[in-house]
Amino acid sequence: MSGDCRDRLPAMHMRVALPILLIATLLWTDALAAGWEVIKQEDGIVVSRKEVPGRDLPIFRGETEFDGSIYELLAILDDFGSHTQWMHSCEEAYAIKRYSAQRILSYYRTRAPWPVSSRDVVIENSIDLVTDSHAVIVTYKSVTSPLKPEVEDVVRMPRLRGYFHFRALSKTRTWLRYEVDADAGGSLPKWVAAMASEDIPYHTLINLRDRLPAARGKYEKFLDQWDPRRNPAAPNLFP
């Protein structure tokens, strides 16, 4: 993250209320919980999926807890180049443009098992702090941007959206739900869809858990801006 980007971080501290539309979206998702099927419970991770008629891919999500602070996890998420090290099947990732501390354009390329072509996508990330709930919600959605045209021999995903919902349980413990709603584009074999709905959330959360201790000491400048134990002006998300 460049120095210019770090200089913009304090501006995000002014945005601490969750937009009404986002609240409605999350409540709607929870209201449909009866339609979710738990497909895996292992290593403290719960993976669920929700089938949608007419779609190759179900909506899927994973939930778990981490031995680490919410600010440590946000530091890793902010380092887009590191996503290839923990996001399952991600072979390329980077921030295209940082419009502000809470709005970032990024690029992802995901490898797929042969003979399926790799997929890529341009994503707009929006970040909201919810101090009353000790939470940060990072929503993302695919967009079209002239800053990253389509790549030859790679299928551009027509739709990808979801969120990372972090909630601080204590100063050293964090809960996370990661949800993905995607249209991978083209024809996707059923076995690939079934594998993706289980493997992506499970391995992404396992890899992020492994990444957390290894990343400590690498994001000091980020934490100096975000963590209220270091910066009294930062919003306190701890319960």
Q: Please give the full DSSP string across 142-209, using - where no structure is assigned.
A: E---TTS---TTSEEPSEEEEEEEEEESSSS-EEEEEEEEEE--S---HHHHHHHHHHHHHHHHHHHH
- Residue 107's identity, in one-letter code, is Y
Neighbours of 89 (CB within 10 A): 18
Question: What single DSSP character describes residue 117?
Answer: P
3-state secondary structure (DSSP) of residue 115: coil
3-state secondary structure (DSSP) of residue 123: strand
Q: What is the pLDDT of residue 4?
A: 36
Q: What is the pLDDT of residue 88?
A: 94
CA 170 vs CA 43, 67, 68, 73, 128: distances in Å: 21, 10, 9, 13, 19
CB-CB contact of 173 with 67 (8 Å)? yes
C-alpha–C-alpha distance, residues 177 and 63, integer Å: 4
3-state secondary structure (DSSP) of residue 70: helix
Q: What is the pLDDT of residue 15?
A: 42
* pTM over cut 0.75: yes
- Is residue 48 within a helix (H) or strand (E), and if so which, with residue range? strand 45-50
Q: What is the pLDDT of residue 55?
A: 84
Domains of the chain, each with CATH number or no CATH: 3-226 (3.30.530.20)
Phi, psi of 12 (to 5 degrees): -65, -25
Angle at alpha carbon of residue 34, lines to 20 and 44, rounded to 5°: 90
The β-bridge partners of 2 are none
Average pLDDT for runs of 10 along the chain of length 239: 38 41 48 77 94 88 97 97 96 97 95 85 96 96 97 93 98 97 80 77 96 95 96 95
Q: What is the pLDDT of residue 65?
A: 97
Q: What is the pLDDT of residue 237?
A: 96
Q: What is the pLDDT of residue 121?
A: 97
In total, the chain counts a number of residues equal to 239
